[in-house]
């Protein structure tokens, strides 16, 4: 294993910080940050702002100018060596006269997958890969899954009392968690390509599902409504002024007369087959969304859609918020319904757990796969 110095790690941390500036904006491309270092000083820096614009390395090299000759480049992801929306970064690095490249992680994209590093080595450039590899991989966990499977990364978010209730026996649920927790949820929304809810949540809460962050203007994600019977009211807030560009309605096969009122409200109506339980097959829905280059989905539904997502095995990550309250009640709602595990040994393990505190609220993040 490579042994990297503290200064090497510091420069890569700077590149990671730069990459995060474009969180939620680069899809279907990855987040990438880069810095050019000469005489232990950063002389150029950049990040990839959005698909179709230059990559991080190009911005960093432009800023460095002639100072890039003989300098080192720190980049969170292996430089590309193929012509996509933009020219290959490897050629720009070679032309700039970079001496050594430190890469955070290899690119899982089959079009790159080590070819970028190989091209740099052929040109006589020293290459070290694996610097802060864990952090660099996590930076692009959405994209890493999508580019290798063409299926979006799915995060299940839920907020509950300490006894696991998302609503009282009367159905009251706002607000379980505090303002800081809700602010973090809006950041999650902005980071994901799409938010998904079921018809139950829409009828109960009539949410807008937009990303609202004070002082910022984040890109609003796609809003996906799972509604097999087309019960969504035509005046629902989720449609909003941009519904024709950002809302997708997933439903089963219906005649045109029933579907017609929605056509002018949404970007598209997705016809999804049912699974063996008679529900819309969420695994098939994820394939449809992947074909649209939607790389990540945040599920913000209720007990039923959460259970369906778990039963359909589409969840990659959980983000569960717990407030320091007890709700109780035989008729109060739990976080997840559905078919579920028959025995405890069939319960799904959560791994690589991270715990955040938002004042008295606790947020637990972890991975299913």
- Report, as residue numbers or ranges, the catalytic residues: 57
361-367 and 351-358 beta bridge pairing: antiparallel
Q: Tokens standing for 161?
A: 């009392």
Adjacent-strand bridge partners of 149: none
Distance CA 295, CA 191 (A): 11
Distance CA 77, CA 137 (A): 9
Q: For residues 200 and 304, is the Cβ–Cβ distance under 8 A?
A: yes
Sequence-separated (6 or more) residues with CB below 8 Å from residue 304: 198, 200, 337, 338
Strand 247-251: give its sheet, edge to edge.
268-271, 247-251, 222-226, 194-198, 296-299, 153-161, 317-323, 361-367, 351-358
Looking up tokens 């035509």, which residue turns up? Answer: 234
Q: Tokens standing for 37?
A: 């270092």
Sequence-separated (6 or more) residues with CB below 8 Å from residue 28: 51, 143, 146, 293, 295
Distance CA 179, CA 142 (A): 26
Task: Pick the closest to residue 74 from 159, 3, 4, 154 (CA basis).
Answer: 4
Distance CA 249, CA 262 (A): 9
Measured CA to CA in angstroms, residue 204 lies from 156, 167, 201 at distances of 19, 11, 5
Task: Pick the closest to residue 29 from 184, 187, 193, 186 (CA basis).
Answer: 193
Distance CA 289, CA 343 (A): 33
Task: Phi first, then psi: give them for residue 290, nearest 5 degrees.
Answer: -60, -35
Q: Tokens standing for 314?
A: 């589409």
Distance CA 44, CA 37 (A): 7
């Amino acid at each position: 294993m490579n042994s990297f110095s503290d200064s090497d790690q510091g420069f890569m941390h700077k590149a990671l910080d730069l990459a995060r500036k474009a969180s939620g904006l680069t899809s279907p491309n990855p987040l990438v940050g880069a810095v050019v270092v000469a005489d232990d000083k950063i002389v150029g820096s950049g990040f990839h702002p959005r698909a179709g614009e230059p990559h991080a390395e190009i911005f960093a090299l432009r800023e460095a100018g002639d100072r890039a000759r003989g300098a080192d480049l720190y980049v969170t992801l292996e430089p590309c060596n193929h012509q996509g929306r933009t020219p290959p970064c490897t050629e720009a690095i070679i032309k700039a006269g970079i001496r050594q490249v430190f890469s955070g992680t290899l690119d899982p994209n089959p079009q790159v997958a080590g070819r970028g590093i190989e091209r740099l080595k052929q040109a006589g450039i020293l290459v070290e890969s694996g610097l802060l590899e864990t952090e660099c991989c996590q930076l692009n966990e959405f994209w890493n899954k999508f580019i290798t499977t063409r299926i979006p990364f799915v995060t299940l978010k839920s907020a509950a009392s300490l006894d696991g209730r998302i609503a009282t026996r009367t159905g009251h649920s706002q607000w379980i968690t505090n303002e800081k927790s809700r602010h973090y949820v809006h950041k999650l929304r902005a980071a994901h390509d799409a938010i998904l809810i079921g018809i139950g949540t829409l009828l109960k809460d009539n949410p807008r599902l937009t990303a609202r962050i004070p002082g910022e203007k984040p890109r609003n994600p796609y809003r996906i409504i799972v509604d097999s019977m087309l019960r969504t009211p035509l005046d629902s807030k989720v449609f909003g002024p941009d519904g024709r560009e950002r809302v997708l309605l997933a439903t089963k096969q219906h005649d045109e007369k029933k579907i017609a009122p929605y056509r002018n409200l949404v970007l598209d109506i997705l016809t999804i087959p049912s699974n063996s339980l008679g529900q819309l097959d969420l695994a098939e829905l994820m394939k449809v969304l992947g074909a649209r280059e939607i790389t990540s989905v945040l599920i913000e539904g209720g007990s039923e859609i959460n259970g369906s997502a778990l039963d359909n095995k589409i969840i990659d990550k959980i983000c569960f918020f717990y407030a320091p309250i007890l709700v109780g009640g035989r008729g109060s709602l739990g976080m997840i319904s559905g078919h579920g595990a028959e025995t405890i040994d069939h319960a799904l393990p959560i791994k690589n757990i991270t715990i955040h505190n938002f004042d008295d609220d606790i947020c637990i993040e972890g991975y299913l796969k």
